[in-house]
Amino acid sequence: MRILVTGAHGQLGRALLNAIVAAGHQVVGIDLPDGDLAEPGVAANFLNLHRPDHVIHAAAYTAVDLAESERDQAEAGNVTATERLAAACDSVGCPLTHVSTDYVFDGADIDGYNEDARRNPLNWYGDTKARAEDAVLAMDTPSRVVRTSWLFGHGRANFVLTMRRLLAERETLRVVDDQMGSPTYAPDLAALLTELATTQAWGVFHATNAGVTSWCGFAREIASGLGLDPGRIEACRTEDYPTPAPRPACSVLHDTRLPDLGLAPQPTWQDALARYFGWLQRNEETDAT
């Protein structure tokens, strides 16, 4: 297959480029320097130029808090860009996989969310991602939406790197302990998205690493992985750490459809974190020499 990946410079996009090549497919990666998908004609030009067999849409405006004040930019990056990409894919009959988020849910259901659960985003970012989903699912050409959560991976910024930096600067950290979800390693998600692209399974899927924790629990596991005392991470409540964009209290995404495809279960988030630390050690040691 020849697969076109949008958002190729992001942590998921870079993981996708590697996963697709590793699976023996051809890949083309595009990002904003190549053209803005929200602009008329750009998506169609990409498809005419590269003629992919499948598109994985990993590009997005992801600054959740900033989206509250940059509503037009977030809407352009998430809604308009996706609508135009979906229309371009429809015009040439190219299937599309769109990567979405747990933030399309309000988090009020403490048991978590199946693929067909009612969406009710709490913030503007989640609202734009929900409307992007609608554009993809309305396509005449086969399409799928894959929701994930709490993504971390090989990039310049993520929760793991932030915790590592703050633990080097401060003796203790306060991290919210009443928001639950599943940390997800970008290379694991990328491998799954690549495998899904070869199937004829369409619609909505949930894909995260296995297991559930809080941000505080995630931070404590990060501290342990760094050889530090996890007790340095102090639990606090969401109301003690206000943010411009409200967060869902429960971001647990239940995966009820992927097992029917015979795909292997996803590794635990703890296993993924350990592999990420190994990657950081190998690559940072290489960069230092």
- Superfamily designation of domain 2-156+184-210+252-269: NAD(P)-binding Rossmann-like Domain (3.40.50.720)
Query: What pLDDT shows up at residue 285?
Result: 61
Q: Which residues contact 259 (CB under 8 A, 6 or more apart)?
A: 265
Distance CA 175, CA 31 (A): 33
Name the average pLDDT for the chain: 95
The one-letter code for the residue type at 142 is P
Number of Cβ within a 10 Å radius of residue 180: 18
User: What tokens were used for 13?
Assistant: 């996009």
Half-sphere exposure of 267 toward its Cβ, with a 13 Å CA cutoff? 15
Q: pLDDT tens, 226-259?
A: 999 999 999 999 999 889 999 999 999 999 999 8
The one-letter code for the residue type at 198 is T
Q: Which H or E run includes 237?
A: none
Task: Give the E-state strand segments of the chain in sequence order.
Answer: 2-6, 26-30, 54-57, 96-101, 143-148, 151-152, 173-176, 180-181, 184-185, 203-206, 213-214, 233-236
Q: What is the CA radius of gyration of the chain?
A: 19
Residues annotated as catalytic are 125
Number of Cβ within a 10 Å radius of residue 139: 18
Q: Any idea what the Cα angle at residue 58 is, between residues 52 and 60, rounded to 5°?
A: 130
Contact 112, 71 (CB under 8 A): no
**How are beta strands 184-185 and 151-152 bridged, if at all?**
parallel
DSSP 8-state code for residue 228? S
User: What tokens were used for 57?
Assistant: 């849409």
Q: Which residues of the chain have pLDDT under 50?
A: 288-289
Contact 52, 3 (CB under 8 A): yes
User: What tokens were used for 33?
Assistant: 């320097």
Starting at the earlier edge strand, list the strands of the sheet with 26-30: 26-30, 2-6, 54-57, 96-101, 143-148, 203-206
pTM score: 0.94
Q: How far is residue 287 from each of residues 10, 101, 181, 211, 278, measured CA to CA in Å?
A: 20, 33, 33, 33, 14
What is the SS3 string spanning 119-137? CCCCCHHHHHHHHHHHHHH
The one-letter code for the residue type at 98 is H
Domain residue spans of the chain: 2-156+184-210+252-269
